[in-house]
Chain A
Amino acid sequence: MAAVLKNPGIKRFSDNVAKFWFAMGPFRYLVAAGLMILVPVIMERGYLPEWTLLGYLDGLYGTNILFTTGVWILLALGLNVVVGMAGLLDLGYVAFLMLGAYTTALFTESGSAEQFHFAILNPWLALPIALVVAMLAGVLLGVPTLRLRGDYLAIVTLGFHEIVRQTMNNLEVTNGSRGIFGIPHPSVPVTGELGLDGTPYWQWLLVPAIILAVIMIKHLENSRVGRYWTALREDEVAAAAMGVPVTKMKVLAFVIGASTSGVAGWIYAVKLNYISPNNFPLLQSILVLCAVVIGGLGSIAGAVLGAALVIMLPEIVREASGGAEVFGFDIETGRIAVFGVLLIIVMIFRPGGLLAAKRRRVELMEAGAADMVISEAGPDPDETAAPVGQEPVVTEGDDVRAPSEGGEER
């Protein structure tokens, strides 16, 4: 078993896929867009053979899965900014999706005659509102919590998901656990109302939103903002000492992260017509994180791939298994376990994720190289010098400590 897992062929294959993708240069965006427009048509008609795996997802069923995938790509892109780029562990990210969706419901002509609304607007007008509400929620969550580090932040964000969900579950105005139905579909020129089929949502809303999000995040990554986020992730104390406004940059990461899920929430609500607290279990927040980790923390292409895997793979497994059982469990109900296995395999072969970010890729390669240098290093010229290639910071926290508290991480 171990020998199979260590198979360098598998690693080389995935390396090559990544290399090929990046070798296409800017052309890869065109390829991606073309695929995104054509994919639903091909899937719906069932043109794909089953061995492509996507062939299992045909008809209306297939395009609806594609829709969900698109929503999740938006989510993964946003969470990747927060976790992958700024290094803030957010375990309650789907809260922003919920807020976007509920905002949409409360600003459009939805629900029964008694349903509360802030206003009754055209669904298109609800889009900017959903976006702004999600971003404001990013500020609201960010400002009080971002002083917390690592695990504490993770727990608070986890709580944030449940707080939002329980609020929606208990408020009168959101119709509690019954949820809100009848959220109107948006209309577009020529074809009119978008209806219930996933394909037009994919083509009209999701593909443009994903492309815009990718461009936005790319631009941020290669800018002062992106450098500041990386610096924060690397060493917060040093970043602050170099003039990085720590809290502001963290809040910004939350806000930018929340923006894509605000839009995703709107698309989700106007497509499905109906939302309720049960659509947003905590597990979803964890699964988005899975998507980002599998794809590669900090990697934009990785987030897209990770989201596609997280949504499509279980469905493919369900279709392909045809009710088969393994060790007495039927595969269909156990399909979430597929992720456990997938995650473990990915972490063994590609600890940086399937499409690891450039920086992390180097990081991992260098880790191996550094070991070799240390073992070759001769005696040191100065007794206090650290060996070349080794992290010179041996003792932590001699420099900067929290005043007289042992509790903090550093």
Chain B
Amino acid sequence: MGTILKVDKVTMQFGGLRALGDVDFEIQEGEIFGLIGPNGAGKTTMFNCVTGVYNPTAGSVTFDGVAITGKRPDQIVEIGICRTFQQIRLFPNMTALENVFVGVDARHKTQILGAIFRSPRHRREEREGEAKAMKLLEYVGLTRFANDLAKNLSYGDQRRLEIARALGTGPKLLLLDEPAAGMNPVEKNGLRDLVRKIRDSGVTVLLIEHDMKVVMGLSDRVAVLDHGERIAYGKPEEVQKDPKVIEAYLGSGAGGNAASKQSKQEGA
């Protein structure tokens, strides 16, 4: 059980706005790591820095001992990191199966000539890819929607489909950006089970979550961001009691449940 992801003094500056300032944390192989913090704290920005969408202004990200800062998103997928999006970004006019197939294709090797001449490898990959995509749909419980267009799935199912698509790329580390946002309580329970199942299958999970109940129940360890600074880091029970965290979530320390306050602010 070693460190799988090391985020070292990552800073992301957008003009005058410092979205991340010297953020450090390490994720251990096989754990569920929670990244939490109020809206605008810089959580999604951190995802974008890890997955190659943004190139951090300073600092480095190391995955499995390899520096990945500055690499392209597709290279990072190949190395073994894949993500979902806070605002769902499926391929809306592709079927659920095709969506997952695109993810699975990340591990395929067929190039243009192989496709034009229907090489044996192409045919094998098409066959195996479809089977693998179907398996993943079953894994997240979407088998019966395989041939439906992604955009016609319910919101909760779309979130599950995004997870299946990301799993298709065969990641060692899965990044989930607020996967429970907009889900009803039943769907949230299902999601919790799914995330655990994914972890138990050997995939490390980095989870952004607003819903404190979800994140605290799931995470082995958490880091808390506020205004781009890491204000707390450790076991969920300890972090929850940290005055700085309570302050960040509740503002002036007024009463009320942090989670419900957040979901109101958010209004997806």
Contact = CB atoms under 8 A, between A and B. Distances in A.
**Do A and B make up one complex?**
yes
A385 B106 contact: no
Contacts of B15: 404
A370 interface: yes
B152 A384 contact: no
A393 B98 contact: no
Contact of A228 (B82, B102, B168, B264): B102
Contacts of B103: 242-243
A241 B77 CA distance: 7
B151 A391 contact: yes
B148 to A, nearest CB: 9
B154 A388 contact: yes
Interface string B19-62: 00000000000000000000000001000100101100000000
B108 A241 contact: no
A260 to B, nearest CB: 13
B85 to A, nearest CB: 5
Interface stretch (B137-145, B180-188, B219-227, B235-243): B180-188
Interface in A187-237: 216, 219-220, 222-228, 230-231, 234-235, 237
B263 A370 contact: no
B55 to A, nearest CB: 9
Given A220-B116, A384-B182, A242 B72 contact: no
Interface in B122-175: 122, 125-126, 129, 149, 151-152, 154-156, 158, 165-166, 168-169
A362 B149 contact: yes
A151 interface: no
A231 B112 contact: no
Interface stretch (B3-11, B86-94, B246-254): B86-94
Interface in A394-409: 394-396, 398-400, 403-404
Given A382-B184, A394-B268, A231 B102 contact: yes
Interface residues of B, number: 65
Contact of A243 (B17, B78, B158, B177): B78
B200 interface: no
B54 A383 contact: no
Given A223-B110, A384-B268, A245 B74 contact: yes
Given A240-B74, A384-B181, A384-B268, A392 B88 contact: yes
A366 B150 CA distance: 11
Given A242-B169, A243-B74, A243-B78, A223 B122 contact: yes
A392 to B, nearest CB: 5
A244 B89 CA distance: 14
Interface in A121-136: none
A226 B91 CA distance: 14
Interface in A270-321: none
A399 B182 contact: no
Contact of B267 (A241, A242, A366, A383): A383
A237 B85 CA distance: 10
B44 A385 contact: no
A238 B85 contact: yes
B66 interface: no
A383 B92 CA distance: 23
B197 interface: no
Nearest to B90: A238
Given A235-B89, A238-B85, A381 B184 contact: yes
B70 interface: no
B73 interface: yes
B85 A399 contact: yes
Most buried by A among B51, B88, B102: B102
B152 A389 contact: yes
A227 B126 CA distance: 11
B91 A241 contact: no
Interface of A: 216, 219-220, 222-228, 230-231, 234-235, 237-246, 252, 256, 359-360, 362-363, 366, 369-370, 381-386, 388-389, 391-396, 398-400, 403-404
6 contacts: A216-B116, A219-B116, A370-B151, A392-B182, A399-B44, A404-B17
Interface of B: 14-15, 17, 44, 48, 51, 53-54, 72-74, 77-78, 82-83, 85-94, 98, 101-103, 105-106, 108, 110-112, 115-118, 122, 125-126, 129, 149, 151-152, 154-156, 158, 165-166, 168-169, 177, 181-185, 263-264, 266-268
